[in-house]
Amino acid sequence: MALKRMDNVGIVVDDLEATIAFFRELGLELEGRTTIEGEWAGRVTGLSNQRVEIAMMRTPDGNSRLELSRFLAPPVIADHRNAPVNALGYLRVMFAVDDVDETLERLCKHGAQLVGEVVQYRDAYRLCYIRGPEGVLIGLAQELG
């Protein structure tokens, strides 16, 4: 049996509206929104009595998705949004962009903050990390040549 694809990366957020707006500005499309609750959902996640607002964001090529989740119940119990890039667990999501500088300019208007600096790796890429909505770590990569 072969792996078919990666369906999505999930990110838990507090402000779903602002996070949707941020990722729309980056270029993702809102594929759909719903509220998930009920006994079946708790059997999947191990969280009984959960109630979660979900927004599915799709990349323009249709091949990748971010699942943004806002937990209404149970309440969020941990916060690793300000963890450094060498912390165990979720690290970042990297996006390929046409122009790092132009993308940064647009995203900074939505609260993005540059983590280090924009760097060039050989003649291949310009790269940077930013903190997006709620401190989510995001990588931007511009392929050169």
3-class state of residue 75 by DSSP = coil
CA nearest neighbour of 114 among 122, 126, 123: 126
Burial class from Cβ neighbours inside 10 Å (0-12, 13-18, 19+) for residue 22 reads: buried
Contact (CB, 8 A) for 71 and 34: no
Query: Would the pLDDT of 129 be above 90?
Result: yes
Query: Would the pLDDT of 108 be above 80?
Result: yes
Per-residue pLDDT reduced to its tens digit, 13-59: 999 999 999 999 999 999 999 999 888 888 888 888 889 999 999 99
Number of other residues whose CB lies within 10 A of the CB of residue 112: 22
The model carries a pTM of 0.89
Residue tagged 């060498």 (tokens): 86
Q: Delineate the domains of the chain, giving CATH numbers in brackets.
A: 9-73 (3.10.180.10), 93-143 (3.10.180.10)
Strand 119-121 relative to strand 137-143, pairing:
unpaired
Query: pLDDT at position 41, please?
Result: 83
Per-residue pLDDT reduced to its tens digit, 67-92: 999 999 988 887 777 777 777 777 78
Query: pLDDT at position 63, please?
Result: 94
Q: What is the mean pLDDT of residues 118-130?
A: 95
CA nearest neighbour of 134 among 10, 48, 2, 14: 14
